[in-house]
Amino acid sequence: MLVNHQSWALRSLLGLALVVALLSDAQVRAEDGYDLWLRHEPVGGAAGSELNGITVAGPDSFADAGAEAMVSVALAELRSGLAELAGGESPPAAPLSIRLSCTDADIARGGAFALDGDSTGLTLRAGEASGCLYGAFALLRLLDTGERLTKIHHAEAPAMPLRLLNHWDNPDGTVERGYAGSSIFDWWHLPDHLDRRMIDYARANASVGINGVVVNNVNASAMMLEPRYIARLARLADAWRPYGIRVYLTARFSAPRDIGGLDTADPIDPAVARWWQNKADEIYAAIPDFGGFLVKANSEGQPGPGDYGRTHAEGANMLASAIGARGTVFWRAFVYAAEDETDRASQAYREFAPLDGAFADNVIVQVKNGPIDFQPREPFHPLFGAMRHTRVALEAQITKEYLGFATHVAYLAPLWKEVLDAETGHGGTVASSIAPAGMAGVANIGTARNWSGSHFDQANWYAFGRLAWNPQLSSEEIAREWLMQTFSRDPAFVSDVSAMMLNSRELVVDYMTPLGLAHLMATGHHYGPGPWVCDLARPEWNPCYYHRADKDGIGFDRTASGTDALADYAPSVAAQWAEPETTDPRLLLWFHHVPWDWALPDGKRLWPTLVEHYDTGVAGVAEMQAMWAAQAGKVDPRRHGDVTDFLAIQAKEARWWRDASIAYWQSLNGLPLPAGSAPPEHDLADYRARDFPEAPSD
């Protein structure tokens, strides 16, 4: 019996061990992406041991309650993050300490910080509370990515003051161009109930330095300016203030008419100006640090000053005066009009460049990265650097309207870097031209459990914040640190998967719009190829407007013999793209119309090269699938499986893009495929007949 008792005890023990193992296994495996890059996996070994029992001490006094709340967040993040990183290692004999000093006169204000480790621990110094907040997150990031606390010597300062997310969220919970579920903003229950997600969202933003959020769509409803929404917004502002985030609203320009009872929204009408002044005062009474307004005016049917014969500057300045020194008006330069014969790529430049110097000091002109619309590849927008007397911000699209929605892996840092690093020809890069203003990113965030609709799209949210903080960072650095925090520190994993990420956007270009082609997506939802669409009412909504292909050639002549949009660039830049022979082939068909047998600099002809790009794109996705399959076991099964499924969809859709595009070009040029290149799986009629009324976010 004794033996039996012993074996029972042993079995129970083994059973318990199994349960514990299963439980901890379940914990490890319970990853669903919600924790983003803020997971803080134990670092193990001596590095983990020195974090154990560490004390974190904040300052004794604060400039004000706001600073105290912000430093409390920094301390709480450090304490919980360090405990997670320490894991179960035994503490050192003499525990280390972290000391925060958040009013150090030697450190600039505005978020800068310095971290200095020594044998007793580390000192975090900042010029003000926000620097302690950003320094705390940076310290956790450094530890997460393998630095030893006592060896850290690191200082940072943000490169630009305003780093905003723009949500295209509607008050009814839908999200324009959103692929991650519904809006995270629960206006229905606000202000009485604040969802926990609002705090987790603020943490994520603060961790990458995002310091402002426009909560509503640029295709705006004036309702968002009504008192009941201001009360709701105030609750969000209160919740986000300790995370350094200011709230902004998109202002519908016709609001004085829509909800104000006036019969005009003419910006020079004193009653209109008074209405906005009162509205701004009402908002600031509820939200003293309200960031300001974002405006989409006279574009795609939105109202604006042009409705009354006034300029964008007149409209923007009227709002700027209502806000005064309290905040900023972001005025979008994404304007084009159907009735304007000018090349769409030129319309914003021609409308805004002459207004340089006419905008009030607290107006920022917000310019999309390229002159058309967030395509897989565009040259940088010619307004960057050209408006020397106006603050200009860069607008990037984090949500992937034109790059495979949330399904395709397309890491966007290389796309943004291409623009940020571009020399404008006006003395400096795009990054330096926007440094006095900032960057706005159209959010890819929704109610999806993993926030972004796919695990890899979290990297784009992360990369946007990191680049707005420091555009000098390389795409690779950002990918590596994101992977280490989000998935695994395994060096082979980080090296393989970062290589995949770095190549991923170029593959999308290859299978969708190679060699400078653009805007060939299907109508409305932009899901899948539609290069054959030529008959929509507005010329610039047709893919045919952009590719201009016929039996003889393809491409958009934007040189002096065409629309001359090239002249919008500084002469040194325009010179690079003036001749098709010397234009970077990646932008060839953006600037030039050439025959199908055009010889590229490497001597190859255009048509086989185009096909080769499509094939490269499709083959590259297959390689991504194989590479990811080989990571099984290094990543928790759930997230591994999610990515595997999405890569399979991407492979299917890449093939669809390639086949449909080739079938269409062949219907025009009648050329055979190069040897070894597979014919399209279906005929053109099949691709043309495909219809996707259920595609998300039209």
Residue 253 or 598 having the CB closest to ligand GCV: 253
- Our finding on whether 316 is near ligand GCV (CB under 6 A) is no
Distance CA 338, CA 341 (A): 7
Contact flag: residue 614 with ligand GCV (CB under 6 A)? no
CB of 355 to ligand GCV, least distance (A): 19
Site residues for ligand GCV, 400-459, by CB under 6 A, read 401
According to CB under 6 A, which one of 176, 195, 200, 490 is a site residue for ligand GCV?
A: 176
How far is Cα 40 from Cα 143, in angstroms, rounded to an integer?
Answer: 9
Furthest-apart CA pair in the chain: how many Å? 100
Q: Of 457 and 615, which has the nearer Cβ to ligand GCV?
A: 457
Please state the φ and ψ torsions of residue 421, each to the nearest 5 degrees.
-85, -10
Q: Residue 524 CB, nearest distance to ligand GCV (Å)? A: 9
Q: How far is the CB of 334 from ligand GCV (least distance, A)?
A: 5
Q: What minimum distance in Å lies between the beta carbon of 440 and ligand GCV?
A: 11
Chain positions 507 to 526 lying near ligand GCV, rule: CB under 6 A, are: none
Which residue of the set 300, 550, 597, 623 is catalytic?
Answer: 300
- Kindly write out the interface string for residues 363-392 of this chain, putting x where it contacts ligand GCV by CB under 6 A and - elsewhere: ----------x-------------------
| Nearest distance in Å: CB 517, ligand GCV | 18
- In whole angstroms, what is the distance from residue 322 CA to residue 313 CA? 14
Regarding 219 and contact with ligand GCV (CB under 6 A), the answer is yes
**What minimum distance in Å lies between the beta carbon of 302 and ligand GCV?**
8
Q: How far is the CB of 218 from ligand GCV (least distance, A)?
A: 5
Is the CB of 77 or the CB of 373 nearer to ligand GCV? Answer: 373
Separation CA 233–CA 482 (nearest Å) = 31
427: which 2 tokens? Answer: 């003395």
Cβ count near 188 (within 10 Å): 10
Report the C-alpha gap between 78 and 289 in whole angstroms.
26
Q: How far is the CB of 175 from ligand GCV (least distance, A)?
A: 10
CA-to-CA distance for 284 and 604, rounded, in angstroms?
A: 62
- Using the rule CB under 6 A, is 334 a contact of ligand GCV? yes
Please identify, using beta-carbon distances, which residue of 519 and 640 lies nearer to ligand GCV: 519
CA–CA distance, 293 with 615 (Å, rounded to integer): 45
Residue with the two structure tokens 């946007």? 464
Q: Are strands 212-214 and 162-166 parallel, antiparallel or unpaired?
A: parallel
Closest CB to ligand GCV among residues 219, 666: 219
Q: Which of 219, 218, 221 is nearest to 187 (CA)?
A: 221
Least spacing, CB of residue 442 vs ligand GCV, in Å: 7
Helix axes 413-420, 475-486, angle to 10 degrees: 150
Choosing from 218, 313, 318, 522, the residue that interacts with ligand GCV (CB under 6 A) is 218
- The count of chain residues that interact with ligand GCV, using the rule CB under 6 A, is 10
| Token pair of 635 as six digits | 């990543």
- Report, in Å, the least distance between residue 529 CB and ligand GCV: 16
Judge whether 378 counts as a catalytic residue: no
Residue with Cβ nearer ligand GCV (237 or 319): 319
Q: Which is nearer to ligand GCV, 239 or 393 (CB)?
A: 393
Closest to ligand GCV by CB, 177 vs 400, is 177
For 98, phi and psi rounded to 5 degrees?
-120, 130
Cβ atoms of 379 and 371 within 8 Å: the answer is yes
Peptide bond into 191 cis (omega under 30): yes
- Joined together, the tokens standing for residue 202 give 């603020």
**Rounded Cα distance, 25 and 186, in Å:** 34
Token couple for 442: 């159209």
In the complex, what is the shortest distance from the CB of residue 176 to ligand GCV, in angstroms, rounded to a whole number? 5
Please select the residue that binds ligand GCV; options are 40, 141, 279, 296, rule is CB under 6 A: 296
Residue from the set 177, 246, 252, 593 that interacts with ligand GCV by CB under 6 A: 177
Contact (CB, 8 A) for 421 and 431: yes
CB 90 within 8 A of CB 51: no
Q: Is 23 exposed, middle or buried (0-12, 13-18, 19+ CB in 10 A)?
A: exposed
Nearer Cβ to ligand GCV (300/597) = 300
Report the C-alpha gap between 144 and 374 in whole angstroms. Answer: 33
Set 31, 147, 373, 481: catalytic member: 373
The catalytically annotated residue of 128, 147, 401, 540 is 401
Task: Assess contact for 594 and 555: CB atoms under 8 A.
Answer: yes
Report the chain's terminal Cα–Cα distance, integer Å: 73
**Cα–Cα distance measured from residue 401 to residue 696, given in angstroms and rounded to the nearest whole number:** 10
Whether residue 591 contacts residue 556, with contact meaning beta carbons closer than 8 Å, is answered with yes
Q: Which one, 408 or 639, has the nearer CB to ligand GCV? A: 408
Alpha carbon distance 660, 642 (integer Å) = 27
Q: Does 168 bind ligand GCV (CB under 6 A)?
A: yes
144 binds ligand GCV (CB under 6 A): no
What distance in Å separates the CA atoms of residue 498 and residue 501, rounded to the nearest whole number?
5
Distance from C-alpha of 147 to C-alpha of 342, rounded to nearest angstrom = 54
Residue 31 annotated to the active site: no
Task: Tell me if 206 contacts ligand GCV by CB under 6 A.
Answer: no
Question: Is 401 one of the annotated active-site residues of the chain?
Answer: yes
Beta strands in 333-390 (DSSP E): 363-368
Q: Which residues are catalytic?
A: 300, 373, 401
Applying CB under 6 A, the residues found at the interface with ligand GCV are: 168, 176-177, 218-219, 296, 300, 334, 373, 401
